[in-house]
Amino acid sequence: MNTLVAVAIAPFGVGDELAPYVAEAVRVIRDSGLPYRTTSMFTEIEGEWDEVMTVVRDATMVLADRGIRTEVILKADIRPGHTDTLHTKVEKVEELLAE
Protein backbone atom coordinates (compact mmCIF):
# COMPACT_ATOMS: atom_id res chain seq x y z
CA MET A 1 0.00 0.00 0.00
CA ASN A 2 1.48 3.35 -1.03
CA THR A 3 2.83 5.32 1.91
CA LEU A 4 4.31 8.80 2.00
CA VAL A 5 6.06 9.78 5.22
CA ALA A 6 7.63 12.97 6.43
CA VAL A 7 10.30 12.12 8.97
CA ALA A 8 12.72 14.15 11.03
CA ILE A 9 15.50 12.18 12.70
CA ALA A 10 17.68 14.22 15.04
CA PRO A 11 20.22 13.48 17.76
CA PHE A 12 20.22 14.97 21.25
CA GLY A 13 23.19 15.89 23.39
CA VAL A 14 25.75 16.09 20.62
CA GLY A 15 26.24 19.86 20.49
CA ASP A 16 24.84 22.67 18.39
CA GLU A 17 25.72 21.43 14.91
CA LEU A 18 23.46 18.55 13.93
CA ALA A 19 24.11 18.46 10.17
CA PRO A 20 26.75 15.68 10.25
CA TYR A 21 24.38 13.41 12.18
CA VAL A 22 21.37 14.26 10.03
CA ALA A 23 23.49 13.53 6.95
CA GLU A 24 24.18 10.03 8.27
CA ALA A 25 20.44 9.35 8.56
CA VAL A 26 19.70 10.87 5.14
CA ARG A 27 22.47 8.75 3.60
CA VAL A 28 20.63 5.61 4.76
CA ILE A 29 17.43 6.95 3.21
CA ARG A 30 19.18 7.85 -0.04
CA ASP A 31 20.89 4.47 -0.26
CA SER A 32 17.53 2.68 0.15
CA GLY A 33 16.62 3.52 -3.44
CA LEU A 34 13.15 4.74 -2.45
CA PRO A 35 11.97 8.10 -3.80
CA TYR A 36 12.77 10.81 -1.25
CA ARG A 37 13.13 14.58 -0.87
CA THR A 38 15.00 16.35 1.92
CA THR A 39 14.05 19.85 3.04
CA SER A 40 15.31 21.99 5.88
CA MET A 41 13.01 20.32 8.42
CA PHE A 42 11.97 16.89 7.12
CA THR A 43 12.78 14.15 4.66
CA GLU A 44 9.85 12.70 2.74
CA ILE A 45 10.04 9.06 1.65
CA GLU A 46 7.57 7.19 -0.56
CA GLY A 47 7.00 3.49 -1.11
CA GLU A 48 5.23 0.48 0.27
CA TRP A 49 4.50 0.65 4.02
CA ASP A 50 6.96 -2.06 5.07
CA GLU A 51 9.75 -0.67 2.88
CA VAL A 52 9.29 2.88 4.13
CA MET A 53 9.11 1.88 7.79
CA THR A 54 12.23 -0.29 7.42
CA VAL A 55 14.11 2.70 6.01
CA VAL A 56 12.89 4.93 8.86
CA ARG A 57 14.04 2.32 11.37
CA ASP A 58 17.43 1.89 9.72
CA ALA A 59 18.00 5.64 9.45
CA THR A 60 17.12 6.04 13.12
CA MET A 61 19.30 3.18 14.26
CA VAL A 62 22.37 4.51 12.46
CA LEU A 63 22.50 7.06 15.31
CA ALA A 64 20.85 5.14 18.15
CA ASP A 65 23.14 2.14 17.71
CA ARG A 66 26.04 4.49 18.50
CA GLY A 67 24.45 5.35 21.84
CA ILE A 68 23.13 8.70 20.65
CA ARG A 69 19.75 9.73 22.05
CA THR A 70 17.64 10.14 18.92
CA GLU A 71 14.28 11.85 18.36
CA VAL A 72 12.01 10.80 15.51
CA ILE A 73 9.05 12.86 14.31
CA LEU A 74 6.94 11.01 11.75
CA LYS A 75 3.84 11.86 9.76
CA ALA A 76 2.38 9.27 7.38
CA ASP A 77 -0.11 9.49 4.50
CA ILE A 78 -1.34 6.04 3.49
CA ARG A 79 -3.27 6.39 0.25
CA PRO A 80 -4.45 3.22 -1.49
CA GLY A 81 -4.57 3.41 -5.27
CA HIS A 82 -2.15 6.33 -5.60
CA THR A 83 1.51 6.51 -6.58
CA ASP A 84 4.11 9.25 -6.87
CA THR A 85 2.33 11.40 -4.31
CA LEU A 86 5.72 12.83 -3.38
CA HIS A 87 5.42 14.89 -6.56
CA THR A 88 1.76 14.97 -7.53
CA LYS A 89 0.55 16.54 -4.28
CA VAL A 90 2.86 19.51 -4.82
CA GLU A 91 2.08 19.71 -8.54
CA LYS A 92 -1.66 20.02 -7.82
CA VAL A 93 -1.07 22.97 -5.49
CA GLU A 94 1.27 24.62 -7.99
CA GLU A 95 -1.34 24.27 -10.74
CA LEU A 96 -3.95 25.98 -8.55
CA LEU A 97 -1.54 28.79 -7.69
CA ALA A 98 -0.83 29.37 -11.39
CA GLU A 99 -4.51 30.02 -12.18
Model confidence pLDDT, tens digit, residues 82-96: 999 999 999 999 999
The verdict on pTM exceeding 0.75 is yes
Q: How confident is the model at residue 80 (pLDDT cuts 50, 70, 90)?
A: very high
CA distance 13 to 96: 43
- Give the pLDDT confidence score for residue 59 in this predicted structure: 98
Kindly list the domain boundaries of the chain, sorted by start residue.
2-98
Domain 2-98 has CATH 3.30.70.930: yes
Q: What pLDDT score does 9 carry?
A: 98
Which pLDDT band holds residue 38 (cuts at 50, 70, 90)?
Answer: very high
Dihedral, 35, 3, 27, 16 alpha carbons, nearest 10: 130
